[in-house]
Structure 1
Amino acid sequence: MTTGATPRRRAVLAGVAGATAGLAGCSGVFGGGAAVSVLAAGSLNDALENGLRERVDQRVAVEAHGSARVARLVADGQKDPDIVAVADPALFESTLTPEWYAEFATNSLVLAYDAESPGGRRVAEAGVDGWWRPLLDEGVALGRTDPDLDPLGYRTLFALELATEHYDTDTNLRAAVPAPGQLFPETQLVSQFETGAIDAAFTYRSMAVDRGYDFVDLPAAIDLGDPALAVRYETTSYELPGGTVVQGAPISYAATLPRETAATTAVFEALTGDGYLTDFGFTVPEPYPRYTGQPPDGLAS
């Protein structure tokens, strides 16, 4: 498990909260031509706001939501961004069907906890071999995201299902742990530690590392972070509203470029290949960015 610095965590969260508060006005920029608009997964928000912006000359307007919602906003015609970036390429194979996309980073799930709360300390004490036990008790307030709105939510269910088999528990953790009151928007999940609303949360490793949260590193058999275990992850699934079934898979982020101009292409290339994501806790494998379909001439190189 990892121990973070509370002052840094609060400083970063304050910046994220300010950025998130300004998102409502970003949608008006879409189509205005003054800025390159990026509609992105909530877990990318901090990296885009505080990493991508300083690496490009173009103005960038970022709007972040859960990835399933991002995909539906575009598919339903409610948003028309220059760049779409999601936390699961499966959404480009189902809800959205772009001619091409680029996978550009990977991640893994962890169980973050508030070391200053009694419930959080119980999770820490249970450690990697027993983190699930305190979650079955009413004394630990758990936070997670809505599986109908973003991949982090359904990946949490995948991890719980995989954990049931991995630990050979008598309890079906996917059925026993989730409860309606645990749901928070992805962009607000980790900030619930600051308000005392939760003791622990399933989140991406990048989010916990970047914000300085303590967390339990889950085994590779559970954390959806090891491409070599893809076949194991595929034993899990979740049905989204509308009937689309998402299979478990190694976590990967993907982006596409619906509107190709010199400005949008420059931002897209920086977003997917500038190396800044590792500073925010993401992993960028050597073959990435990895393209599916036929990207515009020169982009893949």
Structure 2
Amino acid sequence: MMESGRDDSTRTTRRTVLAAVGGVAGAGVVGGCLGRAGGSVSVLSAGSLAHTFEDHVGPAFEDETGIAVHGEYYGANAVMRMVEDRTKHPDVIVSADATLLRDRLYGEFTDWDIEFATNSVGLAYARESEFGRRLEDGEPWYELARETDARDLAIGDPNLDPLGYRAVQAFELAEREYDLDGFREEMMELVYEEPEEPQLLTGVESGSRAAAVAYRNMAVDHDIPFFEFPETYSFADPERADHYATVEYTTDEGDYTAEGRPVVYNATVNDEADEPNAGLRLVQFLGDNPERLVDAGLTVGEQIPRASGEVPGAIDV
């Protein structure tokens, strides 16, 4: 991890701000009773939540609080790198892999997070394509994938976002499940790796690509048919965490190795946030409004929201 570049007094000051927000404004944040505060909050988020924030969470949050949400969206691994090297300076940080955020940011930029939603991995596909027609006729997706032309099937860049490395891990788990010798490597030679996660489904929408390995909510966002992988490699079942963990992916730069794990979204407020109060209110809003997340195609189970680390007093989950 990078050296901080700031002294302990700066960090203490930020901690003091968060503590003061928890002590003085906690009840108002929790109950939504602080009125329409105005201003804005900056969010640096996993790209799979672009539509969730822009179309569902952001407008509702601003309507309730008067605080505008200004979001930027990238692969979650890229998000962590931008925070670490201070290329970006967000108030709120959101990851599509809860463990990734903790591994990369705890101790330097935050000491806590709130898990607020889960998701599943599968194929968003073009219904009118040969791939889509045959998939809907019941042919195995992995056989169809092997027959696709090069770059006709897209995945996220596994070096930049968890969806990308989960696609690679899903290929490996499918290889084992169906005894498909060399399937993972075969797929990696065929697929197109999209570096901009929010653009992953653009080719599917236009008909220039047959399908993309995507999260369910992304297909919902774009009104594209979705074929959910079986739970053995959809990364949707927390009870299968040990099974998912039997595969891993190491980035090309070798700076991070991710084990397979269930898809869990989490959020935190940056210790260096310019608007920590607004950031805390937004994180609380994510935990308090599961129906808006479900409308966006996410899943919110009984164990969500769930807190980890030294959660400020302003947050109540």
Is the TM-score greater than 0.5?
yes
Indicate which of 35, 42, 55 corresponds to 2:47. 42
Q: For residues 268 and 219 of structure 1, what CA distance do their matches in structure 2 show?
A: 31
Q: Who wins on radius of gyration, i.e. which is larger?
A: 2
Q: Within 5 A, what are the aligned runs for 1:105-124?
A: 105-124=117-136
Aligned counterpart, 1:160: 171
Q: Are the equivalent residues in 2 in contact too, given 1:104–1:273 (CA < 8 A)?
A: no
Would you say 1:179 and 2:189 are equivalent positions? yes
- Structure 1 contact 113–123 (Cα < 8 Å) conserved: no
Specify the SS of the correspondent of 2:123: strand
CA RMSD of aligned residues (A): 1.8
TM-score of the pair, normalised by structure 2: 0.79
Deviation at 1:291, TM superposition (A): 1.0
> Hey, what does 2:31 align to over in structure 1?
none
Q: Look up the match of 1:273.
A: 288
Tell me the amino acid that sits aligned with residue 235 of structure 1: T
Q: Which amino acid aligns with 2:289?
A: D
> Helix, strand or coil: the match of 2:93?
strand
- 230, 239, 245: which one pairs with 1:234? 245
Check conservation: 1:112, 1:213, Cα contact below 8 A.
Answer: yes
After the TM superposition, which of the residue ranges 157-166 and 207-216 deviates more from structure 2?
A: 207-216
1:147–1:154 contact (8 Å) kept in structure 2: yes
Q: C-alpha displacement at 1:70, in angstroms?
A: 0.5
Offset at residue 264 of structure 1 (A) = 2.2
Q: For 1:174, give the aligned amino acid.
A: R
TM alignment of 1:6-155, pairs within 5 A: 34-56=39-61, 57-97=66-106, 98-127=110-139, 130-139=140-149, 141-155=152-166
Equivalent position SS for 1:73 = helix
Which amino acid in 2 is paired with 1:295?
A: V
The amino acid that maps onto 1:283 is T
Alignment check: 8 A CA contact 2:39 2:67 kept? no
Letter in 1 for 2:48: S
C-alpha distance in structure 2 between counterparts of 1:48 and 1:101, whole Å: 18
Paired with 2:277 and 2:211, the residues of 1 have a C-alpha distance of 44
Please state how far the C-alpha of 1:34 moved relative to its aligned partner: 4.5
Q: Deviations over 1:183-232 (max 9, x none)?
A: 11210011212332210110001111232211222110110100111110
1:231-290 per-position Cα deviation (integer Å, ceiling 9, x unaligned) = 100001011234321110111001111136332222221133312110011001122111
Q: Which residue does 1:8 correspond to in 2?
A: none
C-alpha spacing 1:42/1:235, structure 2 compared with 1 (3 Å) = same
In 2, the alpha carbon distance for the partners of 1:231 and 1:138 equals: 32
Query: Which structure 1 residue ranges, 4+ long, deviate > 4 Å from structure 2?
Result: none
- What TM-score, normalized to structure 1? 0.83
1:296 and 2:312 correspond = yes
Which sits farther off after the overlay, 245-254 or 267-276? 267-276
Cα deviations by residue, 1:134-177 (Å, 9 ceiling, x for unpaired): 111244710111000000000001111111112222x2221111
Instruction: Give % identity.
Output: 36
Q: Tell me which moved more, 135-144 or 224-233.
A: 135-144
